[in-house]
Amino acid sequence: MTFSLNRRHFLQATATGVAVMGMGLRPSMAAPYQRAFTWISPRGSLEVAGDFPYWVAKKMGYFGDLNIDIQPGPSDGTATVKFVDVGQADMGFPSPGVFSFGLQAGMKLKSVFHMCPRDSFSFAFRKGEGPKDIKEMAGKTILLGSAAWQPIVEPMLAAQGVDISSVKYLEAGWPTWGTALAAGEGDAALAWEGLRAEWTAKGLPFEYWLGVQKSPLPGNTFSVRAADVDDADKKAFLEQYLRGWAMGLEFSEHNPRAAVDAVFEQFPTLAANMGPELGVTSVLQEANVFRGDWDKRQGWGWHDMQSWQTFFDLSASTSKEKKDPLQAADVCTNDLVPAINDFDFAKVKADALAAPVSDALAGVDVDAIRASLFKQAI
């Protein structure tokens, strides 16, 4: 099946910022992209809390005057690399498994901003059915929203010593694979941080084996066409664009309730479905993944090459196609990281602390939620 972004999709979420000086943003620059620069989500919907740094940056004007667009993409799990490869989008947000799939298929891609230095993926289980040892997953059936998610799961299990040849998979569809697990299908379902809170809001009170606690592997990343990194004008554009994301991340560290407000203003239906407390919970789950082990990182977007190489080695060992492992240094780059983090951190913190929030969000106890982020863990 093939997919294409139609005119309605391209028009529904265009975001052109306002130039703001003195906060790490740069003067207006010539547009190296002929149309709006398009970021494509790996999910089939934008109505999630997980993209909060974008909505914060858009609201605060951190993207400057860049002509940008954000798209949900089709629910096909590999669209986020396929669309970038053929030029229908300019930046994707693939999992390491999907990124690896694209590279092994011959797509000339490069990871330029490691959004999730911690593994955001997890396995959901019906309450009381989570294994005491993840090795008990041998012989079990795992529900997926897309068959393309299998390369996400197999390295995770292999890293824990699970015999992946015995594991079965059932494509239960987007967005219904969680409800299928609750209804008694399969033994577990692939999940991720942020989604845990969304599933709780939908009345799906699972327990979880959490990759953010137990996996040594990296999480999703922002990837582009490799040739764009070699083009000086496009590289400068990417640095300014990703600086906006980094500023949104930094802002949200200091005022996660304001980050939720930015998302809820964009998506009132999501606000009604999640409510303030679960909205903040979802953002804090994701923020924990996005920040990673900050003391060991060299800024927002920095790649830990050792972590990536561990993934690529495991991915090669579990693949049915016997190929040499990808080399992290060839397909991931930290060259943009210094420019991305070249902004006034103190000013962004001041912005965050001064940002108003709704009365409902103001009453949410952020510290209490942080202390209970892993209460669903087995």
Q: Which among 287, 281, 312, 310 has a CA at the least distance from the CA of 300?
A: 287
The residue with greater pLDDT, 5 or 371, is 371
User: What domains can be seen in the chain, in order of their start residue?
Assistant: 7-117+219-282+292-370 (3.40.190.10), 121-218 (3.40.190.10)
pLDDT at 130 > cutoff 50: yes
Q: How confident is the model at residue 30 (pLDDT cuts 50, 70, 90)?
A: low
Across the chain, mean pLDDT equals 91
User: DSSP for 216-279?
Assistant: -S----EEEEHHHHHSHHHHHHHHHHHHHHHHHHHHHHH-HHHHHHHHHHH-HHHHHHHHHHHH
Residue 11 has a pLDDT of: 26
Q: Please report the pLDDT score of residue 20 as a whole number.
A: 30
pLDDT at 47: 96
Close Cβ partners of 310 (under 8 Å, ≥ 6 residues apart): 159, 216, 217
**Rounded mean pLDDT of 85-98?**
96
pLDDT score recorded for residue 174: 87
Task: Using a pLDDT cut of 70, give the percent of the chain over it.
Answer: 92
Question: Is residue 29 very low, low, confident or very high in pLDDT (cuts 50, 70, 90)?
Answer: very low
Alpha-carbon gap, residue 101 to 148, rounded angstroms: 9
pLDDT at 368: 97
Could you read off the pLDDT of 315-359 as tens digits, one per residue?
999 887 778 999 999 999 999 999 999 999 999 999 999 999 999
Residues in the chain: 378
Beta bridge partners of 37: 68
Residue 303: predicted pLDDT: 98
Whether the predicted pLDDT of 137 surpasses 50:
yes
Determine the Cα angle at 57 with ends 50 and 300, to 5°. 70
Q: Give yes or no for residue 44 having a pLDDT over 50.
A: yes
> Is 226 within 8 Å of 84 (Cβ atoms)?
no
> Taking the model in full, what pTM does it have?
0.89
